Amino acid sequence: MKRDPQVMISVSTAMMLFAGMASAHATLTPPEAQVGAAYNAVIRIGHGCDGEATHTVRVTIPEGFYNAKPMPKPGWTLKTVRGSYTKPYVSHGVTYEEGAQEIIWSGGSLQDDWYDEFAFLGTFGPELEAGAEFHFPTVQTCDTGQVAWTERSALSDAPAPSVVLAAADESAQATPMHESAMLGDLTLTNTFAFATLPHSPVAGAFLTITNDGETSDKLVSASSPIAGMVQIHEMAMDGDVMKMRELADGLKLPAGETVMLKPGGYHIMLMDLKEPLVEGEAVDITLQFENAGTIALPFGIQSRTRGAGHEMKH
Ligand SMILES: [Cu+2]
């Protein structure tokens, strides 16, 4: 096979140029997100306006990305412009009719030869098309000039920061065990419950809780429409026997730590069940935290795995 060395050189030069350009643009990470899922956006500003320092960064939050919450930055004043969504969003039992449509960080001074990151959280609507790019038009302003990263084409001189949307995880929809939600400083992920055995009045439910705050919190109680009583349990050795017992004071969530509720460990115990838990369905459980408040989440129901340690008597 014969190759033209001239072509190879020009391709690699183009790639180098493109990589150089890309890093100088206003970029968005992570580069992929999921339809209907939460997204932690970070916009990186890589240079000023023609040598000038940037004092304001303004990000437009288009329809389709809701419940946007910016992260404050030391040395910058944070402001949002709020407005109504064309169509309300419902997530985990909460209706969102309006929210931030613009986020403005101002009063800073980001020199041309420095870079910085501007972050916000939010959720992509379930109606968005998988495979599409979602753009967050961004304008950086300096004393005399500005750069508008608002073009929709990645090949333009000033492309808007964008992210590629992947399809919602269908296996997760069938068994929604990858639900995740934010509540105050808490991130709640990987919710699931075990299907009940025939005639069993109890079932275990599990999730992972990360406390990103600077103060500890506590899971104080839980409830579910299908359970007469819900308790928070731990598994502990009593002599040689592993037993479960209620955490009457709740489950502590230390600041900056992740606590996993999992088979054989901490769990939420659904008792006095009014109906069986069927594999592939979901059960709604409301969690109440001491500081973060209350949230209702669906827990996808999976078949019980053997040796999960849930055969024990109360
Ligand atoms: Cu238990």
Confidence band for 305, pLDDT divided at 50, 70 and 90 = low
Residue 212 pLDDT > 50: yes
CATH number at residue 206: 2.60.40.1890
Q: Is the pTM of this model over 0.75?
A: no
| Residues facing residue 273 across a β-bridge | 227
Domain check: are 197 and 295 in the same one?
Answer: yes
| Residues facing residue 88 across a β-bridge | none
3-state secondary structure of 205: strand
Go through the chain and tell me how many residues it has.
314
Q: Rounded to the nearest whole angstrom, what is the distance from the C-alpha of residue 260 to the centroid of ligand 1?
A: 15
User: How many domains in the chain?
Assistant: 2
Sign of the torsion formed by the C-alpha atoms of 298, 303, 307 and 310 = positive
Sign of the torsion formed by the C-alpha atoms of 62, 65, 68 and 74 = negative
- CA 288/CA 285 separation, integer angstroms: 10
Residue 173 pLDDT > 50: no
Q: Rounded to the nearest whole angstrom, what is the distance from the C-alpha of residue 313 to the centroid of ligand 1?
A: 9
Q: Rounded to the nearest whole angstrom, what is the distance from the C-alpha of residue 98 to the centroid of ligand 1?
A: 40
| Parallel/antiparallel/unpaired status of strands 162-166 and 32-34 | parallel
Domain boundary among 128, 151, 166: 166
Domain check: are 85 and 113 in the same one?
Answer: yes
Task: Tell me what the mean pLDDT of segment 171-194 comes to.
Answer: 73
Q: Rounded to the nearest whole angstrom, what is the distance from the C-alpha of residue 222 to the centroid of ligand 1?
A: 13
Q: Rounded to the nearest whole angstrom, what is the distance from the C-alpha of residue 11 to the centroid of ligand 1?
A: 62
161 belongs to a structural domain: yes
Q: Rounded to the nearest whole angstrom, what is the distance from the C-alpha of residue 238 to the centroid of ligand 1?
A: 15
Task: Tell me what the mean pLDDT of segment 131-138 comes to.
Answer: 94
CATH number at residue 64: 2.60.40.2230
DSSP state for residue 137 in the 8-state scheme: -
Q: Which of 28-37, 213-222, 273-282, 300-309 has the lowest mean pLDDT?
A: 300-309
Residue 130 pLDDT > 60: yes
Domain check: are 141 and 186 in the same one?
Answer: no
Q: Rounded to the nearest whole angstrom, what is the distance from the C-alpha of residue 267 to the centroid of ligand 1?
A: 6
- CA 272/CA 270 separation, integer angstroms: 7
Asked if residue 102 lies in contact with residue 111, where contact means CB atoms within 8 angstroms, the answer is no
Q: Rounded to the nearest whole angstrom, what is the distance from the C-alpha of residue 231 to the centroid of ligand 1?
A: 8
Domain that holds residue 65: 26-166
Task: Tell me what the mean pLDDT of segment 234-251 comes to.
Answer: 86
Task: Tell me what the mean pLDDT of segment 235-247 comes to.
Answer: 84
Ligand 1 (ion): which residues have CB within 5 A? Answer: 233, 244, 269
Averaged pLDDT of the chain? 85
Q: Rounded to the nearest whole angstrom, what is the distance from the C-alpha of residue 174 to the centroid of ligand 1?
A: 26
